[in-house]
Amino acid sequence: MSTTSDPSDHTPLSSAQRFPTATAAARRDDESAPFFDAAGRGELVVRRCAQCRHLRAPEVRGCPRCYDGAFTWSAVSGRATLVSWAVAHERQPDGETLTKPFALVELEEGPWITAPLVDVAIDTVAAGDALHVRFVRLGGGEAIPSFTREVSPAGD
């Protein structure tokens, strides 16, 4: 028998107060617009330093190697390996729990991306799994990269 108490569960609340939005939609701003434009074309882009050509994650503003800020958006292959993962458990107004697996992946070019993990049985994944990008639109928002596992040549 549990002896815990969780006051946050005992306070009477409206449905809107208790349950966050099921799916947040990605929205562009000026900085991310080229990233979303590429995603809409089915292309994954990261920042390439104009000075030293180091590739860095889309949201990283300055080069970690040479500190320069100038960059170009550069397409990458979409292949990645799994670094880590987790599963958000979001309680819905109807009482159900929506589970949303997501991952931290390492692109084969080096930068890391946080993205939904799709069409994967979460209890079968392991660090180092080969993944590839698939663009999805969640909640009616912009196209964003998600990752799914590579199918073996012989098929599953």
Partner 1 sequence: MTSAIVGLGVTEVGRVFGRTAPQYAADAVRAAVVDAGLTLDHVDGLLFGNGRSGGLTPLLQRDLGLVNLTLLSEVGAFGASAIAMVQYASLAIEAGMASVVVCAWGDAPLREGTSAGASYQREMLAGFLSVAAAAGVTGANARYALAAQRHMQHYGTTSEQLGAVAVAQRAWAAGNPLAQHRLPITIEDHQASRMIVEPLHLLDCCLVSNGGVAVVVTSTERARDLRRPPAFVWGWAQAHPGTLPERGSRFGLETGAAVAGPAAMRKAGITTSDVDVCEIYDCYSYTVVVTLEDYGFCKKGEGGAFAASGALAPGGSLPTNTGGGQLSSFYLWGMTPLSEAVVQVRGDGGDRQALRHDVVLVSGNGGVLDYHATLVLGREPR
Name the site residues for partner 1 (rule: CB under 8 A): 2-9, 11-13, 17-18, 20, 23-29, 31-32, 35, 56-60, 64, 83-90, 99-102, 104, 106, 110-116, 122, 126-127, 138-139, 141, 144, 146
* Residue number, 10 or 153, with CB nearest to partner 1: 10
* Residue number, 108 or 155, with CB nearest to partner 1: 108
Tell me the Ramachandran region of residue 50: left when phi exceeds 0, alpha when psi lies from -120 to 50, beta otherwise: alpha
Minimum separation from the CB atom of position 74 to partner 1 (A) = 14
The angle at the Cα of 28, spanning 26 to 32, to the nearest 5 degrees, equals 110
Q: How far is the C-alpha of 109 from the C-alpha of 124, rounded, in Å?
A: 25
Q: How far is the C-alpha of 103 from the C-alpha of 90, rounded, in Å?
A: 16
Minimum separation from the CB atom of position 50 to partner 1 (A) = 18
Q: How far is the C-alpha of 100 from the C-alpha of 23, rounded, in Å?
A: 9
Minimum separation from the CB atom of position 119 to partner 1 (A) = 15
